Amino acid sequence: MVRNMARGQSRRGFTLIELLVVIAIIAVLVGLLVPAVQKVREAANRMSCSNNLKQMGLALHNYHSSEGCLPSGRTAVSLSVHAQLLPHLEQDGIFKLIDFTQAWNTAANANARASVVKTFLCPSDSFNAIPAGWAGNNYRVNQGSGLLWGLPPTTAGDPNTGFPAPNGPFFLNSKMRLTDLTDGTSNTAALSEHRKGDFNNGMSSVSDTFYLGQAKGLYPATPDEAQKIADTLDTKNLLFQGMSDVGAPWIYGYHSTTVYFHVTRPFSNSCMYPPGRIATAANSNHSGGVNVALCDGSVRFVPAAINLAAWRAMGSATGGEVISE
């Protein structure tokens, strides 16, 4: 009797087929769910990134209100716009660590150089490993649609003598007023984004700045030539690897850390053409485009396939171009 009861109460287990069916159903559900979750995560990251740019755009306006001009693209000792904006981003503590008479790489600025500012980091950029003592950055100020990095030289024989001066709102010692932006603040880019690099000149990654100029035909005379070179560059060739400090430290006002150009389309290869010519491009890990903060403080998502003329027009502050939507 007892044996019969025990037999009657014994639970029937799942068969192998049933288990496999359940696992298959779970796998299908996960397969459907994961891309959806990733899409939502990326949308949230893109919004967060856009918010960071908005904060920086507002900080530029607050800086203008208090100083009467925008911060210079880089100071005489190559400190960045980011360093100058800190008090307007509620980062007074880090601002006080900076000695503005000393260069970015001096011992006097070591603590600031290593201080992470969350507003400077795009959550979509998963590359968060940075050399010791440095803090990363994904946002860059717009130097304009010209190729020249510094101010035009006046020395006879210099290949850049007579080259047009930078036409964006931020360049060496620029200190422009909003009224100087004759194209209008809503037609001129202030900031965009750039992925951090690998910090290693012994390897190549897409977000690096490639060092050209040593081979014939790789010294562009015009922005169009620069676009052509960037489009056809063999990025795997390690002979094009210069020093690789892309995206850190934010305190350094440099074309590979805190400044970008509107010479080439977003997502083009970033290149430096010594002597003196540079075209670092905007890029991001967002699907299909980059966030751009305009000088009026608004933020737009610009598609990667933007018309090149419109992109360059957005880069110049005084070109008189009309940007179509």
Partner 1 sequence: MNNRLGALWLAGLVIGMVGCGGQSTLEMATTPADAKAAITEALDSWKKGTTQKALAEGKPPLYLQDNSFAKGVPLADYSFENDGKVVGTGISFIVNLKLKGEGGGEGKARRVAYRVVTKPNRSVALEDGIP
Q: Which residue has the tokens 């209100």?
A: 65
Determine, following the binding rule CB under 8 A, whether residue 49 of this chain makes contact with partner 1.
Answer: no
Residue 53 vs 121, nearer CB to partner 1: 121
Q: Decide if 285 contacts 183 (C-beta within 8 A).
A: no
Determine, following the binding rule CB under 8 A, whether residue 233 of this chain makes contact with partner 1.
Answer: no
C-alpha to C-alpha distances, 138 to 84, 285, 316, nearest whole angstrom:
16, 11, 21
At 153 the three-state DSSP class reads coil
CA 48 to chain centre: 14
Closest CA to 49 of 250, 283, 296: 283
Residue 136 vs 315, nearer CB to partner 1: 136
Report the 10 Å Cβ neighbour count for 63.
20
What is the rounded CA–CA span in Å between residue 42 and residue 39? 5
Which of 16-24, 168-176, 238-246, 260-268 is the region at the interface with partner 1 (rule: CB under 8 A)? 238-246
Determine, following the binding rule CB under 8 A, whether residue 247 of this chain makes contact with partner 1.
Answer: no
* Smallest gap from residue 274 Cβ to partner 1 (A): 6
Residue 93 vs 133, nearer CB to partner 1: 133
Rule CB under 8 A: choose which of 245, 262, 264, 317 binds partner 1. 245
Give every CB contact of residue 241 below 8 A, 6+ residues apart in sequence: 201, 202, 203, 204, 208, 210, 211
Rule CB under 8 A: choose which of 143, 244, 258, 284 binds partner 1. 244
Phi/psi for 111 (5° steps) reads -70, -40
Phi/psi for 40 (5° steps) reads -65, -40
Residue 220 vs 319, nearer CB to partner 1: 220
Rule CB under 8 A: choose which of 211, 250, 260, 261 binds partner 1. 211
Give every CB contact of residue 247 below 8 A, 6+ residues apart in sequence: 125, 127, 130, 136, 137, 138, 194, 195, 196, 197, 207, 256, 257
* Smallest gap from residue 295 Cβ to partner 1 (A): 28
Which residues in the 262-301 window bind partner 1 by CB under 8 A? Answer: 272, 274
Which residues in the 166-205 window bind partner 1 by CB under 8 A? Answer: 199-203
Determine, following the binding rule CB under 8 A, whether residue 123 of this chain makes contact with partner 1.
Answer: yes
Determine, following the binding rule CB under 8 A, whether residue 243 of this chain makes contact with partner 1.
Answer: yes
Residue 128 vs 161, nearer CB to partner 1: 128
Sites of contact with partner 1 (CB under 8 A): 105, 116, 121, 123, 128-132, 134-136, 199-203, 211, 213-215, 238-239, 241-245, 254, 272, 274
